[in-house]
Amino acid sequence: MQKIYLDCKNCDVKAVSFLSYCTDEEAEIVSAAKSCSHYNKGQSIFYEDNIPLGIYCLSKGAIKLTRSNKDGKEQIIRFAREGEFLGYRALIADEPLVATATCIEDTVCCFVPKNVFLELLEKNAQINKHMLKSLCHDLGIADERIQSLAQKSVRERLAETLLFLQKTFQDDKTQDENLIAVTLPREDIANIVGTATETVIRLLSEFKSDKLIDMEGKKIRILNQSALERISHASV
């Protein structure tokens, strides 16, 4: 982790983050109070069970939010990308953090102290509305996830996960919409699906020999999206 300087008023992710709803004056306050850091791939920004001291705003990179069990096996709860926040759920609920945030790419992330964020949330109705809506959306996603884990087979969930990763990690530069533009080890994929690493490897091999996907280096290419959709929705 390495401290760097970023100005909120000219932040390049302002458009997608809550800062876009700030007045210049508010952005000034946030800018003065925040601290930005660079994290390497693999480093964690915060840890499960800790008390949140503020929120984090991703200005570059990608992170995974995970919860670990007693054997150290982690479950990936969700991902966050440029422009998204972390830690606000725990902060607003006034509860400890329920997940650990770990960078899956080199990441730049700004920390905004609790009181500055909470005040902004109270004063600025637009930000408030944005957060409220975003939380409702996320809760809907979580509900779908609960059903998926409870009712779908591993095979169905893997197909679903591949399509999710394709959508979430679209390569902005190449516009190559069938390539999953992130390299996750098989273990991470297993930790999204909620299965063993070997099972993911086996099923990916199957998908490959069925010409549904292909490997390009460490990345996965979707060859037959509609077939994967069919598999993913076989039972639900």
Question: What x-and-dash track marks residues 102-121 binding a copy of itself by CB under 8 A?
Answer: -------------------x
Regarding 204 and contact with DNA (CB under 7 A), the answer is yes
- Minimum distance from residue 93 beta carbon to a copy of itself (Å): 4
The set of residues, in sequence order, having a beta carbon less than 8 Å from that of 94 and lying 6+ positions away, is none
Q: Name which position in 7, 12, 119, 144 contacts a copy of itself (CB under 8 A).
A: 144
Torsion angle defined by CA atoms of residues 198, 43, 81 and 71, in that order, rounded to the nearest 10 degrees: 40
Nearest to 6 by CA among 97, 111, 90: 111
Of 12 and 144, which CB lies nearer to a copy of itself in the complex structure?
A: 144
Nearest to 102 by CA among 46, 19, 158, 28: 46
Residue recorded with tokens 């290419």: 221
Is 66 strand, coil or helix?
strand
Question: What x-and-dash track marks residues 198-217 binding a copy of itself by CB under 8 A?
Answer: --------------------
Regarding 216 and contact with DNA (CB under 7 A), the answer is no
Q: Which does 215 bind (CB under 5 to 8 A by kind): a copy of itself, DNA, none?
A: DNA
Burial class (CB in 10 A: 0-12, 13-18, 19+), 110: buried
Of 52 and 61, which CB lies nearer to a copy of itself in the complex structure?
A: 52
Regarding 92 and contact with a copy of itself (CB under 8 A), the answer is yes
Of 32 and 217, which CB lies nearer to DNA in the complex structure?
A: 217
Of 67 and 130, which CB lies nearer to DNA in the complex structure?
A: 67
Regarding 153 and contact with DNA (CB under 7 A), the answer is yes
Regarding 219 and contact with DNA (CB under 7 A), the answer is no
Number of helical H runs and strand E runs in the chain:
8, 11
Regarding 147 and contact with DNA (CB under 7 A), the answer is no
> 188 with 76: CB under 8 angstroms?
yes
d(CA 174, CA 144): 31
Give the binding site for DNA (CB under 7 A): 153-155, 185-187, 194-199, 201-202, 204-205, 215, 217-218
